[in-house]
Amino acid sequence: MTERRADGSAGDADYGAIGVGYADYRRPEPRIEEFLSRALGQARTVVNVGAGAGSYESAAREVTPVEPSASMRAQRPAGLAPAVDAVAERLPFDDGSFDAAMTTFSVHQWSDAGAGLREMRRVARGPVVVLTCDPALVRDFWLYAYAPEVLDAEARRYPAIADIADALGGRVSVRPVPIPLECRDGFNEAYYGRPEMLLDPGARQACSAWSFVDEAVRERFARELRRDLDSGAWDARFGALRGQAAYEGSLVVVRSVPG
């Protein structure tokens, strides 16, 4: 049984508390959108699980969003379909209802990722597409030098890619997703070459990992990063990233087709 919080949040993060302002920082990145579009192929009807404020929902497809948090549903732009209030672990649709299923930046929050992924497989006739992070790679990011607690939390939360593949079954491919320097979608690695952005508390709040550490950790992080930006120490170590057009980090697309 998936527990729901006051605003309906059904994962490990409370979007009633941290969801406000999400859509200001987490806008869909066109290059990631292209990646997802290729993975979804010819699918006309798509269920988007953990749909949030509607990032990556293509106007060219008939999308059915599923989102348990009222705070996130309230941020959906007027032009998008209203989201169904339900959880991944129990999708209120018949078997094979959709051409495809997708989920972006969500599977690590579910109380039972395996159950949710099996539900996606059940309701989709074709591809299931999962945009997620590989927990084996999340610590390979400069942020680990400043806030290891945050990336340790991420490494614990993200399901292993092999477990995602097992839950989905079928023919599975896993592809790294390069992140562009000016990435519009503000997840932590999106700021690989723009460290100043992570000094903004709003940018941090839009990445749920920061809600798993104490305020003291967030304050220490901001103090030490600011110090190293002012002194040039960050640039001496990581400054080459400022000019790097794209970054291959932990972001991956897992795609499964039946058979």
Ligand X SMILES: C[S@@+](CC[C@H](N)C(=O)[O-])C[C@H]1O[C@@H](n2cnc3c(N)ncnc32)[C@H](O)[C@@H]1O
Q: Interface with ligand X by CB under 6 A: which residues? A: 2, 9-11, 15, 26, 49-52, 55-56, 66-69, 72, 87-89, 104-106, 109-111, 208
Q: Compare residues 67 and 228 and give the one whose CB is closer to ligand X.
A: 67
The CB-of-84 to ligand X minimum distance in angstroms stands at 10
Could you tell me if 107 and 113 are in contact, meaning their C-beta atoms sit under 8 angstroms apart?
A: yes
CB atoms within 10 A of CB 157: 21
Q: Compare residues 22 and 221 and give the one whose CB is closer to ligand X.
A: 22
Instruction: Compute φ and ψ for 219, nearest 5 degrees.
Output: -65, -45
Q: Compare residues 15 and 191 and give the one whose CB is closer to ligand X.
A: 15
The CB-of-154 to ligand X minimum distance in angstroms stands at 12
CB atoms within 10 A of CB 201: 12
The CB-of-240 to ligand X minimum distance in angstroms stands at 29
The CB-of-150 to ligand X minimum distance in angstroms stands at 15
Instruction: Tell me the two tokens of residue 125.
Output: 């006739």
- 70 alpha-carbon distance from chain centroid: 18
CA–CA separation, 80 and 77 (whole Å): 6
Q: Compare residues 80 and 222 and give the one whose CB is closer to ligand X.
A: 80
Could you tell me if 203 and 143 are in contact, meaning their C-beta atoms sit under 8 angstroms apart?
A: no
The CB-of-99 to ligand X minimum distance in angstroms stands at 19
Q: Compare residues 114 and 176 and give the one whose CB is closer to ligand X.
A: 114
- Beginning with the edge strand found earlier in the chain, give each strand of the sheet holding 45-49 in spatial order: 62-66, 45-49, 100-104, 128-133, 251-257, 171-176
The CB-of-187 to ligand X minimum distance in angstroms stands at 8
Dihedral angle, C-alpha 187, 73, 55, 148, nearest 10 °: 10
CA–CA separation, 189 and 157 (whole Å): 16
Instruction: Compute φ and ψ for 30, nearest 5 degrees.
Output: -55, -35
Q: Compare residues 43 and 87 and give the one whose CB is closer to ligand X.
A: 87
Dihedral angle, C-alpha 45, 91, 22, 14, nearest 10 °: 180
The CB-of-70 to ligand X minimum distance in angstroms stands at 9
Q: Compare residues 76 and 228 and give the one whose CB is closer to ligand X.
A: 76
What is the β-pairing status of strands 246-247 and 179-180?
antiparallel
